[in-house]
Chains A and B, each alone.
Chain A
Amino acid sequence: MRLPRTFRTTPFRLTLLFLALFAAAASAFLAYIYIATAGEVTRRADEEITREMNSLEAAYRQGGVDALNQTLIDRAAGERPFLYLLKDAKGKKITGSLAASPIDEEDADSEGERWASFKLTETDMDGAIVKRPARGVQERLPGGETLFVGADVGDSEAFVVGIARALWGAGALVIILGLAGGVLVSRNVSRQMTGLNDVVSAVRSGDLRTRAKIRGARDEYDELAEGLNDMLDRLERSMGGLRHAGDAIAHDLRSPLTRLRARLEAALIEVEAGKGDPTKALIQALEDADGVLKTFNAVLAIARLQAAGQAPDQSAFDPGELAADISELYEPLCEEKNLDFKAELVPQLTVKGNREFVAQALANILDNAVKYTPTGGAVMLRVRRRSSGEVEFSVTDTGPGVPLEDRLRVVQRFVRLENSRNEPGSGLGLSLVAAVAEAHGGRLELDEGPGSFDGQGTGLRVAFVMPRFE
């Protein structure tokens, strides 16, 4: 048999546990209060009875049995709520409000005081017979008479019982309210958990697009939901990236491979007919194969960086020095293409990272700038520290730029804008830069360059931002 869902939840179980602990503690507490109160009531009644007994004994000592008898008669007629019974030495009742002593005769023979609790039978105002608790003491007087003094303790005892009953009632109320609260809390909690669990099982069955609902309560469930959603975003992105890369690799490798195959086939036919140049065909085939290899290596590098999540072998280095090094590598290329190349490098900065990967990222950005900036344009490399402490490598060119709506897209793998299809390249350059930036906790930013003039494009500003060095 399975319990209903609500009763199996952790919060409900915790509620039960706490209620059990509370009930145990409350019982001990109630028992203590009861014992202490009841004891106190008895003690007080005993004190009053003893005082009465003493005063009666004093009357006996002064005036003997007759004086005592008179005092008893006086007192019984008064307001005093005591019960009396005076018997002579032979046990015959002399006077008193009780018919018989609640204390057994044999016991009464012994010396000293005899205490007893007993039930007092009374007829109340409606004529019904009620039994009320009473207490009393019996003593043998020097003349052989026995005197019993008692008191009705019914009211005091009723008070104690009332207190106990109220306490038990309160306890029961607490337990009922606690249970109800526990059910409510666990319902609420399980609703949250059910939402999250639904997301998890949806993901398990392959749907990466579901997201947990954020209720805006900013509690730990929202935090968990946010974390889960963030994780799913990343997962979806990298899965999407993988799928996209798979398609793109197929696409990008298929066309050169198809071309390679077609060329070889054509060359074979020509050579068999005795009119082709086999060397030329083979050289072309080799070039095609090299192109495929380059694409393949770039994809592999990106995939590895993304899988590792963090660039390997990081160390502190001077970004200005690295940029100077790369400038030196690219400057002749700019000159050859008649581009005005400038570098503005702030010295003495420090970043932490994999120098090799950062160098490659920078080289890729410069490669693009040189490739897309028309002859006569300018390329500018800057290294500086932002006010946030981040270090920024930026390359600004006067090329056609990238339209705002395409800026996110060009970073994706294999995306090449229409007008750049004819340029050589794998379409993986900026994707690798973005992967390197991400693997260093940094990012890649694309902006408009210096603006259009002379009929040129707006230019492009690519910033590779690395986090502040701690």
Chain B
Amino acid sequence: MRILIIEDDLEAAEAMRRGMTEAGYECVHAPDGVDGLAAAQKGGYDVLIVDRMMPRMDGVTVVETLRREGDATPVLFLSALGEIHDRVVGLKAGGDDYLVKPYAFPELMARVEALSRRRETGAVATTLKVGDLEMNLIARTVHRAGAEIDLQPREFQLLEFMMRHAGQSVTRTMLLEKVWEYHFDPQTNVIDVHISRLRSKIDKGFDRPMLQTVRGAGYRLDP
């Protein structure tokens, strides 16, 4: 996976680059909006990480320009601004996800991976399959190794998201954002309880658990 980081904070960019290289991704860094736009226009990236406030050209303008030119590369906005309004502006400009600084690296990583995956999976799939777990999106049924699993609507959505990002870490914040559509951090472990309920439904009676807890990051559904 090739990632373009457009970020004027050199230290933050370097930390990001190191972490991503460590995870096995190829990273290119552009220190401002103008350079970043030029690099993005050359193409060949799977995900763009774009800081909102930068010298010479701000992130929103960069992404708006790319989208106008027909470039659909997934964009993750980084911003020190955190209000809902800022998020809406970023997403309207063509951003696909939005992360507020300061962020935890696993959060950033999980979101970047989720974005790259989004591109790979076609939107037309009617069934999802991870290991021996099967989900029918039309009949809204779930089977594991042939046995039907009865899920509440929200549990179904939660599992669908986990299956679409199988093999990747997803954070609690991501789940709250993408499944429940709330953009705040609950103080208690509400998400953990939902996950453990889901886990008891899909893993109970099987010797190999699929829903894993990833320390310091969140959860991962393994095949």
Contact = CB atoms under 8 A, between A and B. Distances in A.
A194 B197 CA distance: 70
Contacts of B183: 356
A390 to B, nearest CB: 24
Nearest to A301: B82
A336 B194 CA distance: 10
B89 to A, nearest CB: 11
A355 B194 CA distance: 22
Contacts of A364: 187
B187 A304 contact: no
Contacts of B187: 364, 367, 371, 424-426, 429
B82 A312 contact: no
Contact of B193 (A300, A336, A371): A336
A356 B197 contact: no
A425 B189 CA distance: 11
A328 B154 contact: yes
**Interface class of chain B by DSSP:** loop
A304 B82 CA distance: 10
A147 interface: no
Interface string B193-212: 11011000000000000000
A293 B180 CA distance: 23
A403 interface: no
A155 interface: no
A359 interface: yes
Contacts of A424: 187-188
B43 interface: no
Interface residues of A, number: 35
A332 B82 CA distance: 29
Contacts of B82: 297, 300-301, 304
B216 A286 contact: yes
B69 interface: no
Nearest to B197: A332
B149 interface: no
B85 A312 contact: yes
B104 interface: yes
Given A283-B215, A293-B104, A332-B197, A356 B190 contact: no
- For B84, B182, B188, the residue with the greatest tally of chain A CB atoms inside 10 Å of its CB is B188
A332 B25 CA distance: 38
- For B83, B88, B183, B185, the residue with the greatest tally of chain A CB atoms inside 10 Å of its CB is B83
Interface in B61-108: 82-85, 88, 100, 102, 104
Contact of B186 (A313, A357, A363): A363
Contact of A332 (B83, B104, B184, B194): B194
A424 B180 CA distance: 24
A363 B184 CA distance: 9
Contacts of B180: 325, 329
B83 A304 contact: yes
Given A283-B216, A301-B82, A329 B185 contact: no
Interface residues of B, number: 25
A95 interface: no
B110 to A, nearest CB: 15
A370 interface: yes
A433 B6 CA distance: 36
Contacts of A329: 180, 182, 186, 190, 194
Interface string A339-380: 000000000000000101101100110010011000000000
A330 interface: yes
Contacts of B182: 329, 356, 359-360, 363
B215 to A, nearest CB: 7
Nearest to A296: B102
Given A363-B186, A367-B186, A332 B84 contact: no
B207 to A, nearest CB: 25
A342 B102 CA distance: 37
A429 B186 CA distance: 10
Contact of A367 (B83, B100, B188): B188
A290 interface: yes
Interface of A: 283, 286-287, 290, 293-294, 296-297, 300-301, 304, 312-313, 325, 328-330, 332-333, 335-336, 354, 356-357, 359-360, 363-364, 367, 370-371, 424-426, 429
Interface of B: 82-85, 88, 100, 102, 104, 154, 180, 182-190, 193-194, 196-197, 215-216
Given A335-B193, A356-B84, A424-B187, 8 more contacts: A294-B185, A297-B100, A300-B82, A313-B88, A329-B190, A332-B190, A360-B182, A360-B184
26 contacts: A286-B216, A290-B104, A294-B185, A304-B83, A313-B85, A313-B88, A325-B180, A329-B190, A332-B194, A333-B188, A333-B190, A333-B193, A354-B84, A356-B84, A356-B183, A356-B184, A357-B84, A360-B182, A360-B184, A364-B187, A367-B188, A367-B190, A371-B187, A424-B187, A425-B187, A426-B187
A-B pairs with the 10 shortest C-beta distances?
Answer: A360-B184, A332-B193, A367-B187, A312-B85, A333-B193, A367-B188, A336-B193, A356-B84, A333-B190, A425-B187
